[in-house]
C-alpha cells in the first residue's frame, strides 16, 4: 500500500533503508541459517540447535524473506529456505509444539509460499495449520496456548497473531474449517481478554471441560490487572488481521480501541513503550518490541480505514518508528542486533531490555511497509 507521506519523511525513510540494507547484507552472512533469539555481546546465539521448537525460530527466516522480496538478492532466499527445511524436524516433535506454530511457519514456510509458490512450503504450512487446529477446545471455543496438564484451559493474547495461519490454510485449501476455528477463537478470546478501556489481559483461564471462564492472569506484564505493552500490540495487529480475513467489523472496532489505548500511553513516554503501561513509574523498563509490533499493526489498520480517520494512526505509527530509529536502533555492521532494549517479561532480568530477534523482524517489516516494499507474512 502506498501511504501518503511528505517528501521529507520519504527521504528519511530511504536513508534509514540504506542503513538497514547495508547492515543486513553483512549480518546475514554472519548469522546465515541460525535461528536467533537474544543477542549477547552483540551476537545472536543459535537457539535452534538448543530448542528447535522454540516460538521465535521463524523470525530470522521472516526477515530474510522480507529482504529477498525487497532486494531480490538470492542469498536471502538460500538462507531462508534452509531454515525452513531445518524446521521440518520441529514438525516431527509434535509434543513440544504449541499455538505459536503460527509465528514459526508463517515466517518460514508460508512466507516462502507467498513469495515463490513453492509446493513444499505449502505442505509445511498446512501441516503446521493442522497442528494448530488440533489445539481447538470445542467446549470453550478456544485454542489451547500451552501443553502443561495444568494449562489445558489457558488462552493468551499472543494467539491473535497465530490465527493468520488458519485463515491462510482455508484460503489455499478452500476448507472453511480452519477459518471457522480462527474466528471462533477470536470471539472467545476477545470476550475474555479485552477490557472496556481498550487494555488487555495477558492470560485467560477456562475450565477445559465446561469451557467456562474462570479467571485472568497477569502473565508477562507487571501483574494481574496491569497492561502489558506487547499484549496490547498483539491485540492491535492480531485483530486488524482478523478483520482483514473475516471482514467482521467488531474486530476492526476492537483493534482501534486497543490502538487508542496504546497511543495514549506511549505518547507519555516519547512514543516508545515501556514493558507495562500500569507498572510503577520507577524504574523505567522499555520494551521496544511492543512498539515495533504496534507500528505494523497501525499500518495494517490504516489500510482498512477512510483516509481522514486513518491519518491519525499513520501519524502515530510514524512518530513511533522515528522514535525507535533515533533512540534504539543499532546500525553498526559489527553488531548482529538492529533494535535494542526489547523485553520478554517484566519480572525477569535475563531477557529484559535486550536485543530480541522479533523486535528486528517487526522493525524491518514496518520500514518496508512504509516504503511499499514489504512481503505480506501475516
Q: How does pLDDT run across 74-114, given as a tens digit for each residue?
A: 999 999 999 999 999 999 998 999 999 999 999 999 999 99
Mean pLDDT of 348-357: 97
Q: Kindly state the cell numbers that stand for 49.
A: 540447535
Catalytic residue selected from 86, 100, 336, 374 = 100
Name the pLDDT band for 49 (thresholds 50, 70, 90).
confident
CA 144/CA 330 separation, integer angstroms: 37
Computed from CA positions of residues 140, 142, 143, 145, in that sequence, does the dihedral angle turn out positive or negative?
negative
Query: Would you give the DSSP letter of residue 344?
Result: S
Contact 80, 68 (CB under 8 A): yes
Is 100 designated active site? yes
Q: What 3-state DSSP class applies to 203?
A: strand
| Domain boundary assignment for the chain | 7-370
CA 93/CA 18 separation, integer angstroms: 40
Q: CB 9: neighbour CB atoms within 10 A? A: 15
The average confidence (pLDDT) of the chain is 98
Report the run of H or E that residue 156 belongs to, with start and end.
strand 154-156
Contact 136, 99 (CB under 8 A): no
Place of cell 520441529: 90
Strand order, beta sheet including 213-217: 154-156, 203-206, 213-217
Q: What is the pLDDT of residues 192-208, one digit of tens each?
A: 999 999 999 999 999 99
Mean pLDDT of 68-75: 98
pLDDT tops 90 at residue 286: yes
pLDDT tops 90 at residue 355: yes
Fold of 7-370: Glycosyltransferase (1.50.10)
Distance of CA 193 to the CA centre of its chain: 18
**Range list of β-strands (E), the chain:** 36-40, 43-46, 136-137, 142-143, 154-156, 203-206, 213-217
For 140, list phi and psi in degrees, rounded to 5. Answer: -105, -15
Catalytic residue selected from 86, 98, 112, 158 = 158
Is 158 designated active site? yes
Q: What is the pLDDT of residues 125-167, one digit of tens each?
A: 999 999 999 999 999 999 999 999 999 999 999 999 999 999 9
pLDDT tops 90 at residue 225: yes
Amino acid at each position: 500500500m502506498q501511504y501518503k507521506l511528505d517528501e521529507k519523511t520519504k527521504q528519511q525513510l530511504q536513508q534509514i533503508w540504506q542503513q538497514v540494507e547495508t547492515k543486513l547484507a553483512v549480518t546475514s552472512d554472519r548469522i546465515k541459517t541460525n535461528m536467533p533469539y537474544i543477542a549477547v555481546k552483540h551476537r545472536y546465539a543459535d537457539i535452534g540447535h538448543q530448542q528447535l521448537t522454540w516460538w521465535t525460530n521463524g523470525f530470522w527466516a521472516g526477515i530474510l524473506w522480507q529482504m529477498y522480496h525487497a532486494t531480490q538478492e538470492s542469498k536471502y532466499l538460500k538462507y531462508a529456505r534452509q531454515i525452513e527445511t531445518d524446521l521440518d524436524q520441529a514438525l516431527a516433535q509434535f509434543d513440544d509444539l504449541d499455538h505459536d506454530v503460527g509465528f514459526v511457519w508463517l515466517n518460514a514456510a508460508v512466507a516462502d509460499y507467498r513469495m515463490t509458490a513453492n509446493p513444499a512450503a505449502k505442505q509445511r504450512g498446512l501441516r503446521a495449520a493442522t497442528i494448530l487446529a488440533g489445539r481447538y477446545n470445542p467446549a470453550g471455543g478456544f485454542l489451547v496456548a500451552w501443553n502443561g496438564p495444568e494449562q489445558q484451559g489457558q488462552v493468551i493474547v499472543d494467539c491473535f497473531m497465530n490465527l493468520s495461519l488458519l485463515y491462510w490454510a482455508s484460503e489455499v485449501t478452500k476448507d472453511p474449517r480452519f477459518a471457522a476455528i480462527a474466528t471462533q477463537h477470536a470471539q472467545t478470546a476477545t470476550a475474555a481478554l479485552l477490557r472496556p478501556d481498550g487494555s488487555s489481559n495477558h492470560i485467560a483461564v477456562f475450565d477445559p471441560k465446561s469451557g467456562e471462564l474462570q479467571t485472568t492472569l497477569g502473565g508477562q506484564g507487571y501483574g494481574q490487572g496491569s497492561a502489558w505493552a506487547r499484549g496490547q500490540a498483539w491485540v492491535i495487529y492480531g485483530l486488524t488481521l482478523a478483520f482483514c480475513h473475516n471482514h467482521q467489523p467488531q474486530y476492526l472496532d476492537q483493534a482501534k480501541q486497543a490502538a487508542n489505548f496504546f497511543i495514549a500511553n506511549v505518547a507519555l513516554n516519547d512514543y516508545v513503550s515501556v514493558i507495562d503501561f500500569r507498572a510503577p513509574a520507577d524504574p523505567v523498563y522499555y520494551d521496544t518490541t511492543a512498539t515495533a509490533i504496534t507500528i505494523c499493526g497501525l499500518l495494517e489498520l490504516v489500510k482498512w480505514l477512510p483516509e481522514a480517520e486513518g491519518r491519525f494512526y499513520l501519524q502515530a505509527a510514524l512518530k513511533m518508528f522515528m522514535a525507535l530509529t533515533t533512540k534504539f536502533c543499532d546500525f553498526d555492521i559489527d553488531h548482529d542486533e538492529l533494535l535494542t532494549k526489547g523485553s520478554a517479561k517484566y519480572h525477569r532480568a535475563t531477557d529484559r531490555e535486550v536485543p530480541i530477534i522479533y523486535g528486528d523482524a517487526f522493525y524491518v517489516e514496518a520500514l518496508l511497509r512504509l516504503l511499499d516494499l514489504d512481503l505480506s507474512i501475516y
